[in-house]
Chains A and B, each alone.
Chain A
Amino acid sequence: MAAEPEILDELRRLRARLPQLTGAVAAGRDGLVLAQDAPGVEPDGLSALTATTLAVAIRMTEATGRGEFRELLIRGADGYVATYAAGRHAVLTLLTQDRVNVGRLHLEGRRAGARIGELVDAHEDAHGRTAHGKAAPDGTDREPAAREAAAHDTAARDTARPAAPPNPNQSHHQTQTQDPSRPLPTRPVGARTGTDN
């Protein structure tokens, strides 16, 4: 992807501004890595997991009437995983130590997400992705995007699985999320299009 060096610059800048950042991955909403600066992390596995989580998060914000997906924050005992929307096609996932300044993490994450979003959206608008179909045409709101994300997400999971079998943790998470995520998209999304129009 042509915008990749610029995205990578953005990720490196983030690392300089946030010392407690241990990894940054920019990925398409379909789970494909666009650029990464995450030593010691398997970026393909991470972005595939991000796509899975994202699909659930998008449905969650829609089901509860919170509008378009903006960000997602997960805290473990040893640190945070934060995912920020980056335009219409991408997301930015950041891994940090536990003692990070979350206020600053949000400020930097949102800013970087917006910039990466501009880069990716400009690229996508210029070249499009015929293989992936049109992503979320303007005017129609998030529904197609969500459905598509869910579809891509299952595709991403299937392709990600053979790539990441050595990590039992990861495949465990993937199979876990598969069950609740499968039946959901058809119902709330379908029901909503009916009432919206």
Chain B
Amino acid sequence: MANTETALKEALASIEGATGAALVDYTSGMALGTIGGGKSFDLNVAAAGNTDVIRAKMRTMEHLGLKAEIEDILITLTDQYHLIRLLSGRSGNGLFLYLVLDAKRANLAMARHQLKRIEQDLEV
């Protein structure tokens, strides 16, 4: 089991092409922890914005009458991938992991697999 800081460090270190990561509470839109990003990429802005993405998707699913849960969301930009992975399990309820990848360096399938493992290992 890893805590927030360890999990984020691991995401950035072990996932090829990762440039930033955050653990976000989507009931409030605030980040519990961030790593990377830098001056040009404010992860707190991303946390708030992607909270809206998740809320919109959840509302849509509710309107469609879908009972399933969101596992992850992939957003593909011309030069980046953004991966959103919702935490399962009681301690992670209402939280998601957010990962920014450089599209040129990243292996999407591997990144998704590794993020899943980090998520399962994370104890908040």
- On A, residues with C-beta under 8 Å from B are 101-107
Rank and list the top 3 A-B pairs by shortest CB-CB distance, nearest first: A103-B29, A103-B48, A101-B29
A-B contact pairs, 7 of them (CB 8 A): A103-B24, A103-B28, A103-B30, A104-B49, A104-B51, A105-B29, A107-B45
- Counting CB contacts under 8 A, is B44 at the interface? yes
A103-B31, A103-B48, A104-B51 known; 10 new pairs, CB 8 Å cut-off, are A101-B28, A101-B51, A101-B52, A103-B24, A103-B28, A103-B29, A103-B30, A103-B44, A103-B47, A107-B45
A190 vs B48: C-alpha distance in the bound complex, in angstroms? 42
Question: Main SS of chain A's interface residues?
Answer: helix
Q: Across the interface, which residues of B come within 8 angstroms of A107, CB to CB?
A: 44-45, 48
Contact with A along B99-121 (1 / 0, CB 8 A): 00000000000000000000000
Q: How far is the CB of A146 from chain B (nearest CB, A)?
A: 29
A106 vs B48: C-alpha distance in the bound complex, in angstroms? 9
Q: Across the interface, which residues of B come within 8 angstroms of A103, CB to CB?
A: 24, 28-31, 44, 47-48, 51
Q: Across the interface, which residues of B come within 8 angstroms of A105, CB to CB?
A: 29
